[in-house]
Amino acid sequence: MNIGEIARRAGVSRSTVSYVLSGKRAVSETTRLRIQTVIDELGYRPNASARALKEGRTRTLGLVIPPASQRLTDMQLGFVASVVEAAARHDLDVLLSPSGGDHDRSFERIVTGRRVDGVVVMEIRLTDDRVSRLATAGLPFVTIGRTAEPHGMSWIDIDYAALISRCVHHLADLGHRQVALVNRSAELVAAGYGPSHRALAGFRAAVDERGLTGVDVCCGDDTASGEACLERLLTTHPEVTAVATINEAALPGMQRALSGAGLSVPGDFSVTGVAARHWAEDFHPPLTAADVPTRQMGAEAVALLLELIATPAATPRHRLYAPPISLRASTGPARPR
């Protein structure tokens, strides 16, 4: 059933039916009632576009993702999927917009074009121009991640400092005295990527607290980088018996490097960290890790954004996730090397 059929049965033009549905122009009460009677008889429900027109909204959310030239990690893809799924449950569409470098024009169109009712922004830096731009523009937004000074904004984040600290304490409890942190890429660290800096802070604090020897290294987000990174680590720091990591995309390469060096996990070397459940369960043996609840976090980010859209003056809210460490099979007692 469509507007044309309603117009034919009510004896009016399609535009008149549109005016009644959208409320954009006045229609006589007699005509409005006649059209409404036909609508009720047919059980017609306006589609999302018609409702959006009436509400003065686009019924579309923006999701700002890393540049399209960069392959998204499994965790990043999990956040994208969870935001899209949560929006669909509210009958909303999602417009993806890459940001960074040549893609800044896409982000600016999101901000100035009023093509969306609000925005979720991923991969937040400690100082993030995108956050400042959205705040200035007055467009409702929620971030997955947080800046160094997140006051006055709504955000969802993982407590990387606390989780990596827990990983280090777990390794220390197993007798490991020389441990390493495999971080994200040097480029991300230099750019002020929040999780990398917070993970490093948590690692150093826990190492100092337990009197351990700690080494931190950066690593690209792919298998080849993970393999090369761990090979270098084993060569330059042969005393290291365990690593903690937030770089899930490098895990397959790290596993390959350990195997190539003839080291068994966890008999000779322990591995732990923060990762999406998929990566943790695919590691051999399964990875002891804090499992990131991407589905829950994406849904909560959308819920917070819808609150801001409905009530722009609402008090900003946030949620810092610190999931427990799931003890699997990749960590064990330290063995002298």
Spell out the residues 6+ positions from residue 142 whose beta carbon is closer than 8 angstroms to its own. Answer: 118, 119, 120, 121, 153, 154, 155, 156, 301, 302, 304, 305, 308
Identify whether the C-beta of residue 72 lies closer than 8 Å to the C-beta of residue 248.
Answer: no
Highest-scoring range by mean pLDDT, 71-75, 105-109, 306-310:
306-310
Residue 1 confidence (pLDDT): 55
- Read off the pLDDT of residues 144-177 as tens digits, 9 standing for 90 and up: 999 999 999 999 999 999 999 999 999 999 999 9
Six-digit token string for 217: 């290294």
Lowest mean pLDDT among 107-116, 198-207, 291-300: 107-116
Asked if residue 243 has pLDDT above 80, the reply is yes
- Read off the pLDDT of residues 18-73 as tens digits, 9 standing for 90 and up: 777 766 677 888 888 888 888 888 777 665 445 544 556 788 999 998 875 567 78
Helical packing angle, 74-89 and 294-310, nearest 10° = 50
Smallest CA-to-CA distance from 178 within 211, 201, 209, 217 is with 211
Mean pLDDT across the chain: 90
CA-to-CA separations, 336 to 15, 110, 330, in angstroms, rounded: 81, 56, 17
Six-digit token string for 24: 């954009």
Q: Please tell me what DSSP assigns to residue 129.
A: H
- pTM to 2 decimals? 0.82
Rounded (5°) CA angle 321-326-329: 150
CA-to-CA separations, 84 to 62, 71, 94, 279, in angstroms, rounded: 10, 19, 6, 21
